């Protein structure tokens, strides 16, 4: 067996221990004689998996009792539509545009003919920063941000304060730092970046928001439906939720969210130092104050596509995958989610340093 070092943006690296545990239990889950994939979502075996994942998430992420934890499908992208469907009261909704994913969310709200306001944007600089001093209208139906911009490699240091319910797309940085829940009313994430495989969407929502939903919203698209049934209204993505639970157990074994956060800071520092100490050979896309701890997007000087391709090729020879940057930034992108280790990042930094020496 040969495992690659996976710097892919998503679906992304899953801790090896999690994969091995799943492998051991794959054919016979806990003496049931069947795979957990084959178990009814109404069975005792699955019920334990489901409720343990929720309990562990509440414990590790310190989610207050007045929030529901939901497991949905349709990816983060369906949330772009469900949020306006469920939260609007007919007033205005406000967004910050910090990249491709925010823009897509804005588009979905506009499709629903809402009064959509973009209160801040970094579009004019190809999204290389997070706007400062963001002011939402406290009377907005909700205020929306993307906490980590996967493509551009920018991240909020602190969420903006507002009395309007704050909605956070945390698809690419969920479980990577502790949350001040007094600031957040709804957080959502597709699981496939930092929380397991694709197929499960995590929604953490303040219960007081559940009753806002209008009469014309279809049953499956109401948060209320899923909250009332503990995310078992219909068949949930059982195998994904199982792996999410194993991933949460792994986070707990690491020492919890704060320990994972410290590790993430260490990893990000290694790469950003390599960029900053390269005498301009490497150029980070994000402005320093907005740098993401999860996705490091960078170019080689003069955006030399040939040399960038050469480095990507060389990385592949060194057993690293997923470093090609998104087309809207070009260059390279190292996604260093929770499951990517400090040693993995050191290997990349070593390669970057020797490559810069040879090609400067």
3-state secondary structure of 286: coil
Which residue, 93, 78, 81, 204, is CA-closest to 143?
93
Using the structure block, give the residue that is written with the tokens 């990249």.
99
Cβ nearer to ligand PLP, comparing 77 with 254: 77
Cβ nearer to ligand PLP, comparing 323 with 356: 323
Binding test (CB under 6 A) with ligand PLP, winner from 86, 88, 94, 150: 150
Binding test (CB under 6 A) with ligand PLP, winner from 122, 146, 238, 249: 146
Residue 268, Cα to own-chain centre: how many angstroms?
Answer: 16
Q: How far is the CB of 106 from ligand PLP (least distance, A)?
A: 12
Map residues 88-117 to x or -, x wherever contact with ligand PLP holds by CB under 6 A.
Answer: -------------x----------------
Eight-class DSSP state of 197 = S
Is 250 among the residues known to form the active site?
Answer: no
Which one of the spans 51-59, 65-73, 169-177, 216-224 is the region binding ligand PLP (CB under 6 A)?
A: 169-177
Cβ nearer to ligand PLP, comparing 10 with 197: 10
Binding test (CB under 6 A) with ligand PLP, winner from 8, 75, 165, 237: 75
For residues 293 and 296, give the distance between their C-alpha atoms in angstroms, rounded to a whole number. Answer: 7
Q: How far is the CB of 226 from ligand PLP (least distance, A)?
A: 17
For residues 184 and 186, give the distance between their C-alpha atoms in angstroms, rounded to a whole number. Answer: 6
Is 193 among the residues known to form the active site?
Answer: yes
Map residues 24-63 to x or -, x wherever contact with ligand PLP holds by CB under 6 A.
Answer: ----------------------------------------
Q: Quick one: three-class SS letters along 25-65?
A: CCCCHHHCCCCHHHCCCCCHHHHHHHHHHHHHHHHHHCCCC
Which one of the spans 25-33, 164-172, 272-280, 311-319 is the region binding ligand PLP (CB under 6 A)?
A: 164-172
Enumerate residues 6+ apart whose C-beta is below 8 A from 332: 297, 298, 299, 300, 308, 311, 312, 323, 324, 325
3-state secondary structure of 329: coil
Is 310 among the residues known to form the active site?
Answer: no
Enumerate residues 6+ apart whose C-beta is below 8 A from 98: 121, 122, 127, 130, 131, 145, 146, 149, 152, 154
Q: For residues 196-225, which are near ligand PLP according to CB under 6 A?
A: none
For residues 345 and 14, give the distance between their C-alpha atoms in angstroms, rounded to a whole number. Answer: 15
Cβ nearer to ligand PLP, comparing 193 with 226: 193
Phi-psi region of 322 (alpha: psi -120 to 50; beta: other; left: phi over 0): left
Instruction: Identify the helix (H) or strand (E) that includes residue 205.
Output: strand 201-206
Considering the rule CB under 6 A, would residue 86 count as an interface residue with ligand PLP?
A: no
Binding test (CB under 6 A) with ligand PLP, winner from 190, 197, 237, 331: 190
Which one of the spans 14-22, 23-31, 165-173, 202-210 is the region binding ligand PLP (CB under 6 A)?
A: 165-173
- Cα dihedral 305, 306, 308, 312 in deg (nearest 10): 130
Considering the rule CB under 6 A, would residue 73 count as an interface residue with ligand PLP?
A: no
Task: Judge whether 119 and 134 are in contact, CB under 8 Å.
Answer: yes
Considering the rule CB under 6 A, would residue 308 count as an interface residue with ligand PLP?
A: no
Considering the rule CB under 6 A, would residue 187 count as an interface residue with ligand PLP?
A: no
Cβ nearer to ligand PLP, comparing 150 with 162: 150
Tokens of 162: 């507002």
Cβ nearer to ligand PLP, comparing 15 with 99: 99
Q: How far is the CB of 77 from ligand PLP (least distance, A)?
A: 3
Q: How far is the CB of 252 from ligand PLP (least distance, A)?
A: 24
Residues that bind ligand PLP (CB under 6 A): 10, 75-77, 101, 146, 150, 169, 171-172, 190, 193
**Catalytic machinery residues:** 101, 169, 193
């Amino acid at each position: 067996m040969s495992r690659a070092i996976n710097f892919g943006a998503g679906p992304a690296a899953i801790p090896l221990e999690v994969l091995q545990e799943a492998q051991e239990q794959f054919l016979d889950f806990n003496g049931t004689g069947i795979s957990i994939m084959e178990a009814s979502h109404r069975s005792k075996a699955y019920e334990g998996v489901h409720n343990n994942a929720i309990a562990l998430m509440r414990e590790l992420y310190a989610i207050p009792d007045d929030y529901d934890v939901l497991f949905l499908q349709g990816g983060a992208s369906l949330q772009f539509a469900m949020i306006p469907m469920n939260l609007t009261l007919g007033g205005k909704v406000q967004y910050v545009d910090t990249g491709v994913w925010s823009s897509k969310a804005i588009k979905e709200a506009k499709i629903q003919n809402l009064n959509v306001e973009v209160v801040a944007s970094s579009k004019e600089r190809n999204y290389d920063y997070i706007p400062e001093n963001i002011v939402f209208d406290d009377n907005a139906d909700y205020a929306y941000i993307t906490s980590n911009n996967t493509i551009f490699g920018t991240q909020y240091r602190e969420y903006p304060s507002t009395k309007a319910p704050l909605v956070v797309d945390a698809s690419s940085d969920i479980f990577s730092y502790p949350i001040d829940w007094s600031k957040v009313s709804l957080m959502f994430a597709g699981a496939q970046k930092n929380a397991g495989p694709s197929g499960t969407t995590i929604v953490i929502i303040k219960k007081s928001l559940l009753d806002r939903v209008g009469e014309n919203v279809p049953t499956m698209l109401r948060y209320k439906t899923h909250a009332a049934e503990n995310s078992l209204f219909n068949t949930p993505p059982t195998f994904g939720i199982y792996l999410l639970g194993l991933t949460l157990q792994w986070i707990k074994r690491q020492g919890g969210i704060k320990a994972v956060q410290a590790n993430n800071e260490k990893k990000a520092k290694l790469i950003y130092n390599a960029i900053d100490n390269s005498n301009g050979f490497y150029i980070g896309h994000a402005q320093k104050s907005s740098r993401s701890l999860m996705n490091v997007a960078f170019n080689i000087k003069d955006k030399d596509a040939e040399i960038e391709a050469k480095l990507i090729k060389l990385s592949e020879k060194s057993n690293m995958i997923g470093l090609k940057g998104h087309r809207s930034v070009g260059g390279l992108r190292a996604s260093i989610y929770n499951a990517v280790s400090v040693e993995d990042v050191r290997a990349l930094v070593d390669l970057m340093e020797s490559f810069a020496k040879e090609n400067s």
